[in-house]
Every structure is written in C-alpha cells, then in structure tokens.
Amino acid sequence: MKNSKIAIIGGGNLGIAIAEGLLKSVFAQPSQITVTRRTLSRIEFLKEKGVTITDNNAQAIATSEIIIVALKPYNVKDVLASLKDQFDPKKHVVISVVTGISLQELASIVGNDISLFRAMPNTAIAIQQSVTCVCTTNGTRQQADFVTDLFNNLGITIAIDEKLMDAATVLGACGIAYALRFIRAATQGGIEIGFDAKTANLISAQTVKGAAELLLQLGRHPEEEIDKVTTPKGCTIVGLNEMEHQGFSSSLIKGISSSYKKIQS
C-alpha cells in the first residue's frame, strides 16, 4: 500500500491542510496526491507544487486507492451517493474526516464491502503536528497500519472506539481554537504589562509550546511542572490562584462540555 495514490475529496480548510502536511512529509510524493473541489482557483497553489487538482471527483477516485473525504457534513451524503458506483472494494480504502457521520452511515452510502475509516485530525496537520484519532469497523490490520502510518507522518495517531469520535472532535479539533484563545488572552495580558503585541504573542505562543513539550517529551504531569514554578508567596501562585478564583479551569471544562453537548444534539 506504500505507494498508493491519495485523493482528497473536498479541498477546503482541512483538505488543504492534509495536502500541505503530506507535501511536507516523506509519506507521499506530490504526484501521488489529488485534491478536488468545485472552485479550483482556490487550490491552484497546490498544482504549482505538483499536486493534481480537479473538480472531477469520479476521476480522482478512479486514479487513487486511498480516498480521504473532507466534505462538509451537510453535503457529504449527497456527494458520496452520486459517486457510489466509483468505489471498488478490491481497490479503495475510504477515510472520512467528516464530523458526525458514522461509519454505518458511510457504509450505507458507499457499500458495506468498502474498507472504511473515520479520522479526526486538527488543522495543525498542515505542519505535521496534528493529533488524529482513528477508528474502523471493517478495515484490515494492514489497512489500519497504513492509515496509522499516514497520520503518524502528520503528527500522532490514536486508535479509539467510534463512540469516542465526538469527544475526540471536541478535545482535539475544537481544542485548537481553545488553545489559540488562551494564547490570544495571554497576549492581551502581555500588552497590558508592557510588551508590544507582536512580542507578547511570540512569548505567549512559545511558552505554550514549551509547556506542552514538557509533558509530551518528558511524560510529566502538568501539576508536577506547575509545582516547580510556584514559589511560596511568589507571583506565579498568586496569579494562578486568582485565575482559579475567576473560574479558569471550571470555564474550560464547562466550555468543553458545552461543545460536546452541541455536537451530540
């Protein structure tokens, strides 16, 4: 499967980010990648990098083995239904990154005999820093290894049960927005205490990156690292406790819970 051709159906925000991540990785050559959408002018820049672009989904599927579906939830069923006859169970593996459309729903459109995966990446996939949660019901071990390898080239991959896909969407995909809002707020605070906006933003972003790397690289618990920087009666603990008095952790947990309720409604 290593040299399979990959078609990304729906070259919007996420579809483009996946293509950009693949281009930066060693996983696929540009000539192995096709991206489709109706407004081709928006993905002309991918063509300049050697990617095939087309508004012909059927052709993209016919010339590829791995089909990544990155359409919006509201039109995925109609578009896939119109392409139903293009899918070949002996040839194709379909990976849907569409929010809220189950493997069962996908199978009812493209056929039960097609190997189907759902994947939930986030937009950091463009720089190979996504966390991508993946599930399947009928993919073979070899196909699952291939899909894991693909997304490992674009960040890290975690195999989950499909019942956790909504939770993965909130924590991983929406999580990018929560983290960015934290950085923006920290930047606003940084400006208030004396930095220009650009410097405050750089300090805030790199600090969040460093904090995350402490956990990822050293396997530490967040509170263990917090203890190291909270001197008794010092400025960090005073600020941190004030944030908690104002509902910092609670508002984050409530926000995640609200996003989850919304996705399930």
Cα gap 222→249, rounded to integer Å? 13
From 9, 103, 124, 170, residue interacting with ligand NAP (rule: CB under 6 A): 9
DSSP state of 87: -
In DSSP terms, 52 is beta-bridged to: 34
Using the minimum distance from each CB to ligand NAP, give the nearer residue, 56 or 188: 56
Residues 55, 42 contacting (CB under 8 angstroms): no
Per-residue binder mask for ligand NAP (CB under 6 A), 66-105, x = binder: ----xxxx-x---x-----------------xxx------
Cα gap 133→170, rounded to integer Å? 11
Which range in 5-13, 132-140, 189-197, 220-228 contacts ligand NAP by CB under 6 A? 5-13
Residue 122 binds to ligand NAP (criterion: CB under 6 A): yes
Q: Number of residues interacting with ligand NAP: please give it, by CB under 6 A.
A: 26
DSSP state of 232: T
Per-residue binder mask for ligand NAP (CB under 6 A), 29-58, x = binder: -------xxxx-----------------x-
User: Residue 74, exposed/middle/buried by CB under 10 A (0-12, 13-18, 19+)?
Assistant: exposed
Query: Which strands make up the sheet holding 115-120, listed edge to edge?
Result: 52-54, 33-36, 6-9, 66-69, 93-96, 115-120, 130-136, 155-159
Residue 173 binds to ligand NAP (criterion: CB under 6 A): yes
Residue 15 binds to ligand NAP (criterion: CB under 6 A): yes
Using the minimum distance from each CB to ligand NAP, give the nearer residue, 100 or 189: 100
Residue 130 binds to ligand NAP (criterion: CB under 6 A): no
Backbone CA torsion sign across 145, 134, 23, 62: positive
From 6, 7, 8, 10, residue interacting with ligand NAP (rule: CB under 6 A): 10
User: Residue 7, exposed/middle/buried by CB under 10 A (0-12, 13-18, 19+)?
Assistant: buried
Residue 14 binds to ligand NAP (criterion: CB under 6 A): yes
Which range in 116-124, 186-194, 215-223, 248-256 contacts ligand NAP by CB under 6 A? 116-124
Using CB under 6 A, list all residues that contact ligand NAP: 9-15, 36-39, 57, 70-73, 75, 79, 97-99, 120-123, 173
